[in-house]
Amino acid sequence: MSRKWLIKNGTFAVMNPEKPVINGYMLVEDNRIQYIGESLPEGTEDTDSFDGSGLLFLPGLVNTHGHAAMSLLRGYGDDLALQVWLQEKMWPMEAKFTGEDVYKGTALSVLEMLKGGTTTFLDMYDHMDQVGKVAEQSGIRAVLTRGVIGLCPPEVQTAKLQDAVSFAKQWHGAAEGRITAMMSPHAPYTCPPDYIEKIVQAAHDLDLPLHTHMSETRAEVEQNVRDYGTRPVEHLLKLGLFSRPSLVAHAVHLTDEEIAILAEHRVGVSHNPGSNLKLASGIARVVDLLKAGVTVSLGTDGPASNNNLDMLEEIRLAALIHKGVSGDPTAVPALEALKMGTEYGAKSLFLQDVGRLEAGMKADFIALNTEQAHFLPKTDFISHTVYAAGAKDVEHVWVDGRQVVKHGECLTLDEERIRFEAQQAFEGLLAR
């Protein structure tokens, strides 16, 4: 038996340029939006209803790059540049992570993400079965990928790639289709060329997209030129990575030619403004990427380089910093920034029916409480969402038609237990 319910008196961010917001109704049947519009859909007089007064409904936020378990390392290595932060702080601690640590750190992050309105997240990490378990239990939508670092003997490289393949085979399509998989060489500076080629071949065999860190820092680009004679974009192009659907994280340091290559090969870019600012990596050329037709989405990166998972904050940063650096107040307008955090995010993750409030789409949506000082006057709700709102304004969250956050409380996860266990896990890591 299918379940239908109707939201009445709501304000809905449909994000059409001519009319981005409408007042009216949304009908949901099981896990899909069946109708959205200003008039009451026919035949729904007796349908279960939900009062949407004082709520702004938006598509669920899509976080296209992160490492959720790194919440256990939040505040552990601040104010350092990427390579020092990775080599001296993160990697030594991550070497001690057990599957249980990954479960606890990921649960903490998924709790934060759901409560902040993120309905889909991409996660690149190790012990990915544990991440899959959290995604399954919490009800969130997830794109999961075992990140592989190839700075190790050949037999270890082989084992890691095998682990990534097994994970993808087991989890792609799991949790009623809420989980999909990708394949991920961590970065050109941590994976030798022949290893990247093997990972690309595995992605081809499994028919899965690829994800990697790329051109995050100037030093990394210079190292690529020293080691391989090319900048990272051409390097990855030669290794066949862009022959498959792919999404690169960061892409801060790009030339015009590199932007043209990414556009030509339909490579998506996950822009991580908070992490790039904190690690002093630089500011990505988002205006030029968008102008070239590249799909630019938003990611938080891990909670140890951000240091939160608030996608509304990333949306605001994306709308602000490109105005600041370009001197052009029209750069990345509010509606475009919001699309980067929703529709373009879904597109970057190759999710067909997610990212928009529209009939036929999956029922992944959130409701912000607009009965607050910073949502007045009722002029432009897209502007208020981007320039004034924050994670605390998220009142309700639905993923795949199921309510997972109600009045700011997560219905699927035990918040008290997760907070206690995360603290314990961090103390355990320090003591080991």
Ligand X SMILES: CSC[C@H]1O[C@@H](n2cnc3c(O)ncnc32)[C@H](O)[C@@H]1O
123 binds Zn ion (CB under 5 A): no
Q: How far is CA 134 from CA 139, 261, 270, 288, in A?
A: 8, 37, 23, 37
186 binds ligand X (CB under 6 A): yes
Q: Does 275 bind ligand X (CB under 6 A)?
A: yes
DSSP assignment string, 223-291: HHHHHHSS-HHHHHHHTTGGGS-EEEEE--S--HHHHHHHHHTT-EEEE-HHHHHHTT-----HHHHHH
Residue 112 assigned as binding residue: no
Q: How far is the CB of 270 from Zn ion (least distance, A)?
A: 9
Q: Is 271 annotated as a binding residue?
A: no
User: Interface mask (CB under 5 A) for Zn ion, residues 301-320, using x and -?
Assistant: x-------------------
- In this structure, what DSSP letter does residue 362 have? B
Q: What is the dihedral of CA 314, 320, 323, 324, to 10 degrees?
A: -110
**248 is written with which tokens?**
């690169």
Residue 216 marked as a ligand binder = yes
Both tokens of 377, joined, read: 């006057």
Nearer to ligand X, 71 or 342 (CB): 71
Site string for ligand X, 382-411 (x = CB under 6 A): ------------------------------
* Phi, psi at 264, each rounded to 5°: -60, -40
**Residues between 109 and 148 that touch ligand X (CB under 6 A):** 124-126, 147
Q: Which is nearer to ligand X, 126 or 393 (CB)?
A: 126
Are β-strands 268-271 and 210-214 bridged in parallel, bridged antiparallel, or unpaired? unpaired
Count the Cβ atoms, other than its own, within 10 Å of residue 142. Answer: 30
67 annotated as a binding-site residue: yes
Site membership for Zn ion, residue 258 (CB under 5 A): no
Binding to ligand X by CB under 6 A, coded x per residue (else -) over 233-272, reads ----------------------------------------
Q: Is 105 in the site for ligand X (CB under 6 A)?
A: no
Euclidean distance between CA atoms 347 and 48, whole angstroms? 32
Rg (CA), the chain: 21
Query: Distance from first CA to last CA of the chain, Å, rounded?
Result: 52
Report in angstroms how near the CB of residue 186 gets to Zn ion at its nearest. 8
Residues forming contacts to ligand X in the complex (CB under 6 A) are 67, 82, 86, 90, 94, 124-126, 147, 149, 186-187, 213, 216, 275, 301-302, 305
Annotated binding-site residues for substrate read: 94, 146, 186, 216, 301
- List the binding residues: 65, 67, 94, 146, 186, 213, 216, 301
Binding-site members for Zn(2+) are: 65, 67, 213, 301
